[in-house]
Structures are given as C-alpha cells and as structure tokens.
Amino acid sequence: MAINKAANAAVRREIDRAIAERGEIGIQVAAYLNGELVIDTWGGIADQEGGRPVDGDTLFNVFSVAKAIPATCIHLQAEKGFLDYDAPIARYWPEWGCNGKERATVRDALTHLTGAPQMPAGVNADTIGDWDFVVAGIAALEPMYPVGEVPAYQAGIYGWVLGEIVRRTDPRHRSFQTYVRDELAGPLGAADLWIGLPDDVLPRVARLIDDAKGPPFPEDLPLARAVPNHLMLNADIYEDPRIRRACIAATGGIFTARSIARLFGMLANGGEIDGVRLLSKDRIDAACEPRPNSLPDPIMFGTVLPMSQGGYWLHDAGVPTNAPATGARTISVPGHGGSLAWGDPDSGLAVAFCHNRMSNNMTAEEHPAWDIANIVRTSLGLDAKQPA
C-alpha cells in the first residue's frame, strides 16, 4: 500500500466539506494510480439512527455501478476462450433463442442491443432471489425493439443476461455469485465486491437516505418496463434484506470504495494489478472503443448513452450522469443516486465514490464526486481539466 498522505488529506477535507455544506451523509473515496492504492479515505455517518460512523469497511449500495461486474466477467470468459463476443447468445443459452431473439449476440447483450430490456413478469421482492426463475422469464421475452439496431438500456436485467451467459460458458457451471468470488473478486484481491450479501455482512451496510426518490413511473413509460415501480431503485426497496441477499448483478452491488476502485484500477492498469493479470491490454483497449449503433435510447428518454463496446460508459461531457473523466478513453459505470466509479487507461488513474445520500444532482456543479475527482488529480500531480 502506497497511500499518498497529502492527497488523502486533501480528499478527506473535501469529504468533510461535502457533508457540512452539501447535505451528504456518509462518503468513501478510493483511488488507484498505476495499480497502487494512493487514496483511501472516508467520513460521515453510515447510519443516522444509531450514529454508526463510516469507516473503510463500510459497505454502500452503488446500484448500476454493479454493471461493471458482469461486463468484466464476460471479458474474463472471453479471455479464457470460453465464449465469442459475436456468437449468438443461443449458442450458449439455447432457451434464449426464441421469439425473435435468435440472432442476438453476446456483444449485443454486453452493449444493450438485444432489443429486450424489460423485466419479465412475476419478478418481485419474493422471487428476485430465485436466479433460475428470473432467467427463465428473461429467456422467454419478446423484443421491444429490433435486435442489434436500437440501443435499449437493460437497466434491470443486464446482470442476469450476462451472468447467465457466464454461467452457461463456465465449464463448472458455478452460480454467478460463486463465479464472481472465484474468478474476479478473489484473484483481484477485492473481497468486498458483493452481489448478494451473506447475513453476517449485512450489519456493515450504510443506511440509504433517499433524496432522489420520485413519483411512480407511468406504466406505459418504456423505463417502467425495464425497472417496474415495485422494483424501483430507491431506499424503500433496496433496504429490504430480501433484495440485499439476492444476486441482482445490474443494480444490487454493495461494495466498498476501495474494492470497486481496485476493479477499475486493474482495468486502468492494462488488466494487471499486484502481479496478477486478469485481462490483456488489447482486450481492455478494445473495451474502450465506442459501441456501434449509438442512437437515442428509448429506455433512457432518448439520451444517446456514451457506451463502449466493452459494456462500460465512455467519457462524454454532454452526459451529466457520466464520470468526471481524465481522458477520452475513460471507462465508467454510474449508479443511480450518485455513486460513481471510473478508470482511465491513458493516465492509469481509477477512482470510486460511494455514498449513502441518494441524489439526482449529477452535474459538475452539484455533485461532490466531480470536485473530489479534480482534487484527486491535482493532488496527485495530474491534469484536472476535462477533455473537450
């Protein structure tokens, strides 16, 4: 561990300011530079009711930041030679090949181009932990949009789609949770990448404060089909122990900042960290290229998402929910409510911001992660300016 004391202290001061002046409750920040942990700090309260303070081991709901896990696992399977990005999903998961989805490829699934982003019927807080039930429902879906042509963000089902492809291509057919522990979190040295929590870890989770909660979606809204109102991404639902125990690999990630920063630190460091290589540099370079068919996304209200062909987001100054970038090839995954994680393979910098006050304030002027990102860069001697 090579913590930069001056940078760590500068970030801690900004955390304290965000709590004192900007309404934040509890925050963790971690950063890796060229594979070394250089910032690991925190502040505030994990549970306002009991007064439990945040520490380095506090776990945070990070919502869609979790999508980095199944995307990376697909790349691990490709690295091992167990799947082909351009093969039909049905080659590995035969049940998928029905109702017009037959030609959807693994790359389509990775880049939100399957045309079938909707949550299947019958998935609720009682059934969401039944992996086989959920993936059977997904396999039977009919596309809402032309396969491979219209980007349709798989807001809720992304983790099950990719996770089942991983499970089907795994020679040992392990559960996705087990695969993540064995093949990603373990070799990475990131023990706190949790997709589904065991009971003994539940007390470490920070309590969500939901300033982002809005009214129910109109039922005819495309997003309401992808994220139904009874499974909305808010504290009422994601504080439920049934949800926290379930393997919801698109929105149910519960991480520490240092663990998710370590994942992005590996990606920003050419696929290697602490002498352990998980992915080739060429594969990461390919994952930093824009996906094809970047058209307006009907699930995301017509926004053109800056998606890479690796399933991560790319820097785009015009998309306010995107990560504070350090370079044009910065890859990230933003989470509902404001958690963020990103890595830049050109500078070697990766940063994670976790917090428990869910907010829709995601612009550079309003979101503390952006100020913290600039402080990280300047305190480490990197350029703080955003690329044009």
CATH number (domain holding residue 277):
3.40.710.10
Sign of the CA dihedral running 51, 56, 59, 60: positive
- Specify the pLDDT at position 361: 62
Task: Say yes or no to pLDDT of 264 above 90.
Answer: yes
Residues 223 and 118 sit within 8 Å (Cβ to Cβ)? no
Q: What is the extent of the structural domain holding 367?
A: 1-388
pLDDT (mean) for 15-30: 96
What pLDDT, in 10s, does the model give residues 58-100? 999 999 999 999 999 999 999 999 999 999 999 999 999 999 9
Count of domains observed in the chain:
1
d(CA 371, CA 350): 15
Residues 375 and 324 sit within 8 Å (Cβ to Cβ)? no
Task: Say yes or no to pLDDT of 388 above 50.
Answer: no
pLDDT (mean) for 110-127: 98
DSSP track, 270-311: TTEETTEE-S-HHHHHHHTSBPS----BTTTTTB---BBTTS
Task: Say yes or no to pLDDT of 358 above 80.
Answer: yes
Place of tokens 């990280």: 376
What pLDDT, in 10s, does the model give residues 183-213? 999 999 999 999 999 999 999 999 999 887 7
Q: What CA dihedral angle connects 195, 200, 204 and 207, to 10 degrees?
A: 80
- Specify the pLDDT at position 256: 98
pLDDT confidence band for 315 (50 / 70 / 90)? confident
Residues 345 and 264 sit within 8 Å (Cβ to Cβ)? no
- Specify the pLDDT at position 320: 56
Average pLDDT in the chain: 93
For residue 181, CA distances in Å to 174, 196, 356 come to: 10, 11, 25
For residue 303, CA distances in Å to 41, 307, 320 come to: 34, 11, 11
- Specify the pLDDT at position 254: 98
Joined tokens for residue 318? 């015009």
pLDDT (mean) for 317-329: 68
Bridge-partner residues for 307, per DSSP? 313
70 Cβ contact list (under 8 Å, min separation 6): 158, 159, 162, 163, 166, 176, 249, 250, 311
pTM of the model: 0.96
Place of tokens 């059934």: 127
